[in-house]
Structure formats: C-alpha cells, structure tokens
C-alpha cells in the first residue's frame, strides 16, 4: 500500500529561482497537509486542504509561498522567488477526513536547500 509520495526528495537551487514541490496523498484520503521542518522552528503547519479546497493557510509564511490541489491525488507547494531562509524539509501529509480521530500519515519529505 503506497504511502504519501513526495518529489523531489532533494533539491538544491539558487536564490531567486522558483521551486515546486509535489505530493501525491494516500488514495482515498481527502485531507492534505503541508508542513515545514527546520531546526529553528520545528514542525510547522503551512496549509491544510479538505476535499481539494484550502481550509487554513494561516501558516503560509508570505506571498512567495503558494499551494494548490487541482485534484484529489495531487498537490503542489510553490516558492517563488526562493530565498536561503526557505531551506528546510517540507513534508506533505494526508488523512481520511481531517483530524479528530483520523491519523495523519506523512511522506518522506522534500529536502530543500536554497543557496
């Protein structure tokens, strides 16, 4: 049974470039979450989708960050333009029906380095 699939696993990019991270949630899950993990701030929720609709994007750092979920099996997190402080591990996670008793499953993460 495939888990949450993220790509790329690792990316090194130059400051100012556009970065697109991709996520395929677990089949049948209707909630999708993007998290960022850094040494400074730990694991932070960036945005949460339910049935492909963004429900809470209050964690998105600034306008350079955007996320989309065009269908139930695909989501993207885009950073444009990227900055060195965006270097982090970005996790996508999915669950069946959001929280309140529904387990959130995480992907293996996309390790982003902006130089």
Partner 1 sequence: GESVGLHLPTLSVQEGDNSIINCAYSNSASDYFIWYKQESGKGPQFIIDIRSNMDKRQGQRVTVLLNKTVKHLSLQIAATQPGDSAVYFCAENKGRNKLVFGAGTILRVKS
Indicate the helix (H) or strand (E) that contains 105. Answer: strand 105-106
* 109 near partner 1, rule: CB under 8 A: yes
Which lies closer to partner 1 via its Cβ, residue 16 or residue 43?
A: 43
Number of residues that bind partner 1 (CB under 8 A): 27
71 binds partner 1 (CB under 8 A): no
Question: What are the start-end ranges of the E strands in 19-103?
Answer: 19-24, 31-38, 42-50, 53-56, 65-71, 74-79, 88-95
Which of 12, 15, 99, 115 touches partner 1 (CB under 8 A)?
A: 99
Instruction: Give the Cα separation of 2 and 10 in Å (integer).
Output: 20
**The binder of partner 1 chosen from 30, 50, 52, 87 (CB under 8 A):** 50
């Amino acid at each position: 049974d495939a888990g949450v699939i993220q790509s790329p696993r690792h990316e090194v990019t130059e400051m100012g470039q556009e970065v697109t991270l991709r996520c395929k949630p677990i089949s049948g899950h209707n909630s999708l979450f993007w998290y960022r993990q850094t040494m400074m701030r730990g694991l932070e929720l960036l945005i949460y989708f339910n049935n492909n609709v963004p429900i809470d994007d209050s964690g998105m750092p600034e306008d350079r960050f955007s996320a989309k979920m065009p269908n139930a099996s695909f989501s993207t997190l885009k950073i444009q333009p990227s900055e060195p402080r965006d270097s982090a591990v970005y996790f996508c996670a999915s669950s069946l029906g959001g929280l309140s008793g529904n387990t959130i499953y995480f992907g293996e993460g996309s390790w982003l380095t902006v130089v």
